[in-house]
Structure 1
Amino acid sequence: MKKLRFYLLTCLFIVLFSACEDPDSSPKALLNVILVDSPAQWDSVFVEIEGVDIDVLVQGRETQAQTFYLEYKSGNKRIKVSELVGGTQLLLGRNELPIGLITSATIILGDNHSMFIGEKRYDLELSDPDDNRVSLPTSITLEQGISYDIILDIDLERSIVQTSETPLAYGLDPNFKLVEGKGLVELEGNLKPTSLYPAIYMWSATDTFSTHTNTSGNYIFKVPMDKYTLYFDPKNERYQDTTTLILDLTAVRDSVLEDITFKVKP
């Protein structure tokens, strides 16, 4: 669901754990930070992520604000985010945190980002090279003994910007969305022909999500229960756009849509 938006969703995990080295015995909750992608038309996109800072108002005799760093523990921190579609997701970090209230998650980026269009590589410089931190406010209450998921959805369609026409150059203006994994509805479907790079947009009265298909034409959304409209953009002028009517996802847990085949324009 184009948002280099964090609800980024899937069945195939790259599991990289953050070490839990906390000697105290105070009540804890387990936090998983998961990355998914709403990919764009690019063939391959790599984004370097160092880790995530989690700000917590720790519950105790006196509420205290503390920051916990969840490092992405990989020798190569360049993540091929364009593959995180169709249910595939990446575990960025995991750790036990004290009970309290999460107020924000801050993604800490590196400086080695790039993409490929065909065989041509383009380096992606941050729109602000001096600012490699993307802060996402939230409000998630941590209770003892419960595991929580934070989903970070990166919207590549909005994050990759053309900075020059001659010579052709692109930059990275990172656009993330944060969604709590609890209480989400999973919506999936399939688009044909699979040779296209279609974009799927899903919006309610309060929020918008987007995603792309994998090589088999499958797509998956994980969204809060609500009423949504879906719009399918083939990203190809030879084919007609397809818009569905409102979907009521307020009373169901999961839903599978019928396969959709884009029609060639007359």
Structure 2
Amino acid sequence: MRAIITGSEGFIGKVLCRRLQPVFEVIRIDTKIGGDAARIEPLLAHGGIDAVFHLAAETSVFNDRLDDIERENVHAFMVVATACRRYGVKLVYASSSTANACNTTSMYGMTKHFNEQFAKAYCPRATGVRLHNVYGPDPREGTLLYNLLNQETCTIYNGGRNVRHFTYIGDAVEALIYAYTCNRQLVNAVNPVCNTVREFCDEVAKYKPLQLDYTDDLRRLDNFEQSVNYSIFTVPLPYRSIEQGLSQVFSENISAEMK
């Protein structure tokens, strides 16, 4: 079988590529290697593609590059979804907890909600996967875990009281694979246990000394609690707790350093 992964060189894309390669011939599309998801149609027109996993996007609630977000998250998504419908290719795409209306504070979240609605209307065989605060080894720059691992002093807003459903990357990737065989239009990939940011930091501190600056200031566009819409089907997995997930993060980091 053959699968296209857009955003293949990103945080989740790299792990998904490795996970699929024993079964699929993987075609990678990413701006980092000169690819463009908005130019996917010729690949589908030639036939022989079984699935498109569309992960390419401008990320982060705090991203102020609004023109880039519109181009990558709206226009490119429309092109990919329309092409998949035209050529009868299964589309699995990454949505976000920020698409949930009570979590939407930014252009990023608005575009993820748009994607869900566009796919429902114009590519009904697609399956969107709402990802919830995904973390793991080699985290994406700007995320909480990245900052904890790489900043000498890390500022923690709202006293670390913000509540999140931190979901380990391995579980998120298994949910994306599950979605390939799923006939639902939208599913959750979410660790059912919620933790505060402070609890997450405390767990990281068991493996790495941290210098944390807790402030009661609120960060613009941040949300106190990332709620889960449980009316949406949750992919049934043994989701890892932050204790299990961070143990895996640091065991993989140590293994990488020893090579």
- Scaled by the length of structure 2, what TM-score is found? 0.26
Higher helix residue share: 2
Structure with the higher fraction of residues in strand conformation = 1
Q: Which has the larger radius of gyration?
A: 1
- Higher RCO, 1 vs 2 (CA within 8 Å, ≥6 residues apart): 1
- Superposition TM-score, scaled by structure 1 size: 0.25
